[in-house]
């Protein structure tokens, strides 16, 4: 038999290769393909000018106190942000901050907003700077005081330091190759206070590429790693393969351990206490940006996370906020993930990206007839905007919902603005895919 011509052989090999990778690539393409439903409950949105480039938001339902982890400007965020391969450690911003907003106070947003001073936190070289990303808040589920003590758990993308440098400690050269040393910083404060006191820094080899953190107690937490390696081309594999994980860290004596393996680009994580008995294990929601599977998890006695449910929603997701009152999970979804990652993240001032905040909750057999037909979860959209107006919500990566005043707060990691949208129904409009 004569050998195949090179073009024919190449064609066959290409076809075989495409057939082999299709099952892996196809779900991601489907997830990132634009899926707008149309504008919804977006006609009463206003800009909060005091909160800029805020990756994540959290709100206390009884008081309406809104917390946000932010940077100063999109340009400041883009100097040093390992998650998106921004590696200028020397030029990294010192503008990142944690803010608290008294949303139910009268006056302007400037009068409502306070930047929280991080007392006792010294940063790398005593300058007190940190690089914000996700964060979590611990509240005692048995407490009802408006002046309660809370703990804040902040992701800090800290550059690595060369302590053996001839001239003394200095930043490691070429972090794009040599990596970085992200940490979780724990602070204690009182709800609404303008100061938070540093408790401790958690640095561990398993906390590789932290994206979001959710406390499991006053001194313990779960943290998502959004990549399985810190640097290099292998990071790109995390969009195609379930290589990332969720890590549990306890007290200093306990250390850290892998709690959930094979997550597909682990991103936002949030939880609520058991409705009947707050001393029982919490329920966790995990978003996987490269998978339609939104996971519902429960901690075991060894602190690993077991799967309770997997909710199939064909939208890429980022951060999640879980209401301690309704136990509903509010996700920041990407109706056009391709636009977000290829244009908005690169040039946020030039390109907007459609915004969508969704709500996922257990169907109530007393209210939702779908429960009778075996539909366990209700999936709805609360706010959606096509982001064609420069003042409209755009590039949303995190949301928090005030279920008392019916306001949806939305921010984006590269968005110049944060938005407050007054809605008629926080349960939103049910969607089907």
Rounded to whole angstroms, what are the CA distances from 219 to 186, 296, 425? 8, 23, 36
Dihedral class, residue 310 (left if φ above 0, else alpha if ψ from -120 to 50, else beta) = beta
Torsion of CA 420, 328, 222, 412, to 10 degrees: -20
336 labelled ligand-binding: no
389 labelled ligand-binding: no
Q: Which of 133, 157, 264, 294 is catalytic?
A: 133
Strand 210-217 to 220-225 pairing = antiparallel
**Per the structure block, which two tokens stand in for 210?**
């932290």
Strand 316-322 to 329-334 pairing = antiparallel
Please state, in angstroms and rounded to a whole number, the distance separating the CA atoms of residues 373 and 388.
39
Strands of the sheet containing 418-422, edge to edge, are: 45-48, 418-422, 407-411, 398-402
Q: For residues 135 and 75, is the Cβ–Cβ distance under 8 A?
A: no
**Per the structure block, which two tokens stand in for 136?**
């979590």
For residue 223, which of 186, 265, 267 has the smallest C-alpha distance? 267
211 labelled ligand-binding: yes
Catalytic residue flag (residue 133):
yes
Please state, in angstroms and rounded to a whole number, the distance separating the CA atoms of residues 246 and 20.
28
71: Cβ–Cβ under 8 A, 6 or more apart, which residues? 52, 53, 54, 77, 93, 95, 96, 97, 131, 132
Please state, in angstroms and rounded to a whole number, the distance separating the CA atoms of residues 83 and 94.
18
For residue 344, which of 48, 97, 53 has the smallest C-alpha distance? 53
**Per the structure block, which two tokens stand in for 120?**
């006792």
User: Which position has the token pair 């937490």?
Assistant: 221
Q: For residues 334 and 317, is the Cβ–Cβ distance under 8 A?
A: yes
267 labelled ligand-binding: yes
Radius of gyration for the alpha carbons in the chain, expressed in angstroms and rounded = 22
**At 6, which helix (H) or strand (E)?**
helix 6-32
225 labelled ligand-binding: no
Strand partners, 59: 66
The binding site for Ca(2+) consists of 211-212, 267, 318-319
Active site (catalytic) residues: 133
């Amino acid at each position: 038999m004569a050998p195949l011509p090179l073009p024919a052989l190449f064609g066959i090999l290409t076809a075989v290769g495409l057939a082999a990778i299709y099952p892996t690539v196809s779900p991601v393409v489907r997830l990132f393909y634009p899926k707008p439903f149309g504008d919804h409950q977006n006609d009463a949105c206003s800009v909060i000018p005091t909160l800029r480039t805020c990756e994540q938001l959290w709100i206390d339902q009884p008081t309406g106190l809104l917390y946000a982890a932010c940077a100063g400007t999109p340009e400041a965020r883009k100097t040093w942000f390992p998650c998106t391969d921004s590696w200028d450690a020397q030029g990294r911003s010192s503008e990142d901050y944690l803010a608290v907003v008294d949303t139910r106070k009268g006056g302007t947003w400037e009068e409502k907003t306070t930047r929280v001073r991080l007392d006792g936190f010294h940063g790398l070289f005593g300058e007190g700077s940190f690089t914000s990303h996700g964060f979590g808040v611990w509240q005692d589920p048995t407490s009802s005081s408006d002046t309660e003590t809370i703990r804040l758990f902040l992701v800090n993308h800290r550059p690595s330091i060369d302590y053996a440098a001839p001239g003394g400690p200095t930043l490691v050269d070429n972090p794009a190759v040599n990596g970085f040393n992200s940490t979780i910083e724990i602070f204690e404060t009182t709800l609404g206070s303008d100061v938070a006191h540093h408790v401790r820094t958690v640095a561990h080899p398993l906390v590789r590429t932290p994206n979001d953190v959710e406390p499991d107690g006053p001194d313990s937490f779960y943290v998502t790693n959004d990549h399985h390696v810190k640097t290099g081309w292998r990071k790109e594999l995390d969009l195609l393969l379930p290589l990332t994980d969720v890590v549990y860290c306890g007290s200093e004596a306990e250390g850290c351990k892998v709690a959930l393996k094979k997550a597909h680009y682990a991103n936002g994580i949030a939880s609520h206490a058991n409705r009947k008995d707050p001393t029982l294990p919490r329920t966790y929601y995990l978003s996987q940006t490269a998978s339609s599977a939104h996971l519902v998890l429960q901690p075991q006695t060894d602190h690993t996370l077991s799967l309770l449910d997997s909710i199939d929603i064909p939208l890429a997701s980022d951060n999640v906020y879980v209401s301690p009152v309704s136990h509903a999970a509010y996700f920041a979804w990407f109706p056009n993930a391709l636009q977000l990652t290829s244009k908005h993240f690169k040039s946020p001032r030039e390109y907007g990206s459609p915004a969508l905040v969704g709500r996922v909750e257990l169907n109530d057999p007393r209210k939702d007839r779908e429960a009778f037909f075996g539909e366990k979860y209700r999936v709805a959209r609360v706010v959606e905007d096509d982001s064609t107006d420069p003042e409209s919500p755009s590039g949303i990566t995190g949301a928090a919902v005030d279920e008392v005043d019916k306001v949806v707060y939305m921010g984006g990691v590269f968005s110049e603005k944060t938005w407050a949208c007054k809605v008629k129904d926080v349960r939103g409009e049910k969607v089907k895919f």
